[in-house]
Amino acid sequence: MAADPRSSGKTGEKPQSCPQPGGVEAAIACLKQRFTEQIATGEELRRQHANTLTLVENQPADAVFFAETTTDVAQAVQTASDFKVPIIPYGAGTSLEGHLNAPSGGICIDLSRMDQVIAINAQDLDCTVQAGISRDKLNATLRDTGLFFPVDPGAGEASIGGMAATRASGTCAVRYGTMREAVLNATAVLADGTVIKTGGRARKSAAGYDLTRLLVGSEGTLGIMTELTVRLFGRPETILSAVAPFDTIEGACLATSEAMQLGLGLARIELLDPLQLKAVNAHSKLSLEEVPTLFVEVHGTPDAAREQITYFSQIAKDHGARTFDWAEDEQERNRLWKARHDAFWAVKSAWPGRQAIVTDVCVPISRLAEAVVATQADIEALGLIAPIVGHVGDGNFHCIVMIDPQDTKAAETLSRFSRALAERAIAMEGTCTGEHGIGQGKVNLLEHELGAGLDMMRTIKRALDPHNTLNPGKIFDLAGD
């Protein structure tokens, strides 16, 4: 595919500034002059763009700007910088920690119109896309190439730019890595509107600071990624799926640890607890045993795939798997993994009227069983409804805590539970967030997790965004110090 000239801001370019004095109204007026059709201020639209999926209240921006090119983004960022107005990048609105809120108002930049594939370099196993493309659309576009993009957070509509900004991962990270490994380079707009490119398409590079990985996970606070080159993989020749129900959740975790320690190279290894299975059965019309269960998938050449699944079945049996059924049938496999991907919605429909808040700790694999068992004990002691689902091959698991909005103490109980969970993970040399990011929701936990390292982050932020216009109020509190 040829490069799409619409999408490229020349690097090093700084847009013309529009030096009017005043606040957010003046910035919006300035942008409206040039982009009449691309800016909207309706309340419903603004509130929808500040969807948090946490208990943090909705804090909408003052306007939503629909960018169509990197130059549009640069222009909007430059205008925001001139007027010292916050700018909040928006991909698909599926993030879980209040990344999209505008606590000090400002302008939301919606990148969803920037949804094109710019180039597929099949020989190099990479492609360059605009940041607003969804992972589903990218994979649909790749269908005829024999390649796929493996990073798969719960939401298929998640944008590649948003996934990079939050360092997202998903069920395949255990084999294919997270957005940290997936992004080869990015075109990004910095706080003053300058456009940079972080690198080339070589698989490795020792060329100075790793700007790509500094932007990945920076949650829009250091720059707005507008184009990304991401790694692709050949579709595996053989895919085998297995379901392994266990006597105990500890057994399931220990089987996972052992498989990882042996370096089996599983493509997916997901844990669902009995409550989660009950919801999944109801939602996806399945009849799986409602006991702790691992969903496993292996990818590879025919012999290698069969060899792996055979090794794993032995490990599973050693740790109390009741049965171990594996299949190569694509339809059956897709049905199972669709059910797994719908786990969140299954839980939502199992407890209608409740709000789902998702935790996200990640621990070294040797501590996984202990962490999950202790978490289950906490859930029981606090009387919470909180199915567990986890990308356990990475040591990452989620509790989907179902909050009763009528219960005035629910927020406090959740906060106590989440804090204890995160502190336990951190004490185990893990982290409070494996893949959802910090946003507004985990600012205090990050302070606890990193200590002095947080000051280094703040120093970088202040240097690269001296007026704190890029997604302020996320990752850390700058105002207080």
Residue 456, interface with a second copy (CB under 8 A)? yes
Q: What is the closest distance, in whole angstroms, from the C-beta atom of residue 192 to a second copy in the complex?
A: 10
The strand order across the sheet containing 183-189 reads 117-121, 126-130, 224-231, 183-189, 195-197
Residue 99 makes contact with a second copy by CB under 8 A = no
Least spacing, CB of residue 179 vs a second copy, in Å? 9
Q: Which positions ≥6 away from 311 have C-beta within 8 Å?
A: 259, 262, 264
Tell me the window of 104-112, 216-224, 332-340, 397-405 that interacts with a second copy (CB under 8 A).
216-224
Region from 77-85, 101-109, 288-296, 357-365 binding a second copy, contact rule CB under 8 A: 357-365
Exactly one of 217, 387, 441, 472 binds a second copy (CB under 8 A); which one?
A: 217
Nearer to a second copy by Cβ, of 257 and 284: the residue is 257
Q: Taking CB under 8 A as the rule, does residue 37 contact a second copy?
A: no
Please pick, from the candidates 25, 318, 325, 455, the single residue that binds a second copy as defined by CB under 8 A. 455
SS3 sequence of the chain: CCCCHHHCCCCCCCCCCCCCCCCHHHHHHHHHHHCHHHEECCHHHHHHCCCCCCCCCCCCCCEEEECCCHHHHHHHHHHHHHCCCCEEEECCCCCCCCCCCCCCCCEEEECCCCCCEEEEEHHHCEEEEECCCEHHHHHHHHHHHCEECCCCCCCCCCEHHHHHHCCCCCCCHHHHCCHHHHEEEEEEECCCCCEEECCCCCCCCCCCCCHHHHHCCCCCCCCEEEEEEEECEECCCEEEEEEEEECCHHHHHHHHHHHHHCCCCCCEEEEECHHHHHHHHHHHCCCCCCCCEEEEEEEECHHHHHHHHHHHHHHHHHCCECCCEEECCHHHHHHHHHHHHCHHHHHHHHCCCCEEEECCEECCHHHHHHHHHHHHHHHHHHCCCCCEEEEHHHCEEEEEEEECCCCCCHHHHHHHHHHHHHHHHHHCCCECCCCCCCCCCCHHHHHHHHCHHHHHHHHHHHHHCCCCCECCCCCCCCCCC
Span near a second copy by CB under 8 A; candidates 41-49, 109-117, 120-128, 337-345: 120-128
**Is residue 374 a contact point for a second copy (CB under 8 A)?**
no
Using CB under 8 A as the binding rule, whether residue 472 contacts a second copy is answered as no
By beta-carbon proximity to a second copy, the closer residue of 199 and 320 is 199
CB of 383 to a second copy, least distance (A): 29
Report the nearest approach of a second copy to the CB of residue 180 (Å).
Answer: 7
Q: Is 196 exposed, middle or buried (0-12, 13-18, 19+ CB in 10 A)?
A: middle
Where in 263-302 is the site for a second copy (CB under 8 A)? 263, 300-302
CA distances from 315 to 162, 261, 304, 395 (A): 37, 11, 17, 18
- State the minimum distance, in angstroms, from the CB of residue 425 to a second copy: 8
Residue 262 binds a second copy (CB under 8 A): yes
Cβ 176 to a second copy, closest distance in Å? Answer: 11
CA 364-369-375 angle, 5° bins: 100
Comparing CB distances to a second copy, the nearer of 275 and 362 is: 362
Pick from 117, 385, 420, 457: which binds a second copy (CB under 8 A)?
457
State the nearest-atom distance from the C-beta of 39 to a second copy, in Å. Answer: 27
Report if residue 480 touches a second copy, rule: CB under 8 A: no
Site string for a second copy, 423-442 (x = CB under 8 A): --xx--xxxxxxxxxx---x
218 close to 474: Cβ distance less than 8 angstroms: no
CB of 223 to a second copy, least distance (A): 8
By CB under 8 A, name the one of 59, 257, 375, 471 that touches a second copy. 257
Distance of alpha carbon 64 from alpha carbon 44, whole angstroms: 11
Least separation, in Å, of the C-beta of 343 and a second copy? 19
Binder to a second copy among 40, 45, 125, 288 (CB under 8 A)? 125
Nearer to a second copy, 49 or 367 (CB): 367
Is residue 226 within 8 Å of residue 130, measured between CB atoms?
yes
By CB under 8 A, the count of residues binding a second copy is 96
Q: Is 449 in the site for a second copy (CB under 8 A)?
A: yes
- Out of 39, 253, 315, 362, name the contact with a second copy by CB under 8 A: 362
- Binding segment toward a second copy, per CB under 8 A, in 108-116, 130-138, 401-409, 458-466: 458-466
Nearer to a second copy by Cβ, of 228 and 402: the residue is: 228
Using CB under 8 A, pick the residue from 16, 123, 287, 406 that binds a second copy.
Answer: 123
Binding to a second copy, residues 152-211 (CB under 8 A): 166-169, 173, 178, 180-181, 190, 194-211
222 sits near a second copy (criterion: CB under 8 A): yes
Residue 38 or residue 444: which is nearer to a second copy going by CB?
Answer: 444
